[in-house]
Structure 1
Amino acid sequence: MVDRTVIGSSPGSSRIAVVLPVFNGEEYLSAAVNSVLGQTFGDFELVIVDDGSTDRTGEILARIPDARLRVIRHPRNLGLVAALNAGIRNSGGEFIARMDADDICRPRRFERQVAFLE
């Protein structure tokens, strides 16, 4: 069993669970998160897995007041695969969308992807 802290609401029944693993991503994290929160398609949850960051990643995440955000914190870096698996296990979306801390979503990304998948 991996030690972790989960902050935020329990997994819901959103159409999309956005899983975003991050390790020391302070430089780009705010832009990545804001691009998700600014989507035209609003039925999503954002599950961020802070994989043992030692920079200001935790502080940045603590300043984001959005009910769709859930943060999972690993006390030490476990690697990308473990972070992704933790995010997926702690999500409740019908679909999974993958993001990295240095990615930017175009505003209609989820709207277009859900329309295609339907």
Structure 2
Amino acid sequence: MEKDLVSIVMPCYNGKRFIGESIESVINQTYPKWELLIVDDGSTDDSINVIKHYQTDKRIKLIRQSNSGSAAARNNGIRRSKGQYLALLDSDDIWKPNFLEEQIRFMKEKSAICVYSSYAMINKNSKEILKPVKVKDKITSKDMESLNYIGCLTGLYDQSKHGKIFLKRN
């Protein structure tokens, strides 16, 4: 496990339309110590060629698998992750440039194992729609048993504390 490295797992299934913008939002992070594990889940569109275009950045790794669903793709990426921290980002989601830097700073200030944030929803033109999704200040494990309060794209987890945590497959 590499200290201070953020492993970002991005599942992709036919994500050609938006994945370039998602990848660029990672490349543009002010926090530079990351690896992006893109797990192609058997795409039948041109996603692979879009991803390969970005592989000039050695931090971006492509993993291919037959179509098994997003949980299996995420688990495949988690299994191969090398970072102390783990973040999940879907191939149609984007981060603001300071996302990782602020999350890690907050995590270290609070000695937290996991952090998360509110987020905005965007349309196909990357324009904010609806009201931002506001999260609770504190979420307990009991809260998480009843409802997933953490938006997938906002969570950051310290794997050095409790190891790798995998998603349940349906």
TM-score tier (shorter): 0.7 to 0.9
Gaps of 5+ in 2: 109-170
Q: Which amino acid aligns with 1:103?
A: D
The partner residue of 1:86 within 65, 71, 76 is 76
Aligned partner (choices 22, 27, 52) of residue 37 of structure 1: 27
Pairwise CA RMSD: 1.1
The DSSP-based 3-state class of the residue aligned with 1:27 is: helix
What is the aligned length?
Answer: 106
Percent of residue pairs identical? 39
Aligned ranges 1:65-76 → 2 under 5 Å? 65-74=56-65, 76=66
Task: Please say which structure displays the higher CA radius of gyration.
Answer: 2
Per-residue deviation, 1:101: 0.5
Higher relative CO (CA 8 A, sep ≥ 6), structure 1 or 2? 1
SS in 2 for 1:85: helix
Q: TM-score, normalised by structure 1?
A: 0.87
- Measure the CA separation in 2 of the matches of 1:94 and 1:116: 15
Whole-Å Cα distance in 2 between the matches of residues 61 and 107 of structure 1?
A: 20
1:24-67 deviations in whole A, cap 9, x for unaligned?
00000000000001100000100000000000001111111101
Structure 1 residue ranges without an equivalent (≥5): 1-11
Question: Following the alignment from structure 2 to structure 1, what is the Cα–Cα distance between the partners of residues 52 and 36?
Answer: 14
The aligned residue for residue 6 of structure 1 is none
More helix by share: 2
Residue in 2 that maps onto 1:108: 98
Per the normalisation by structure 2, the TM-score is 0.61
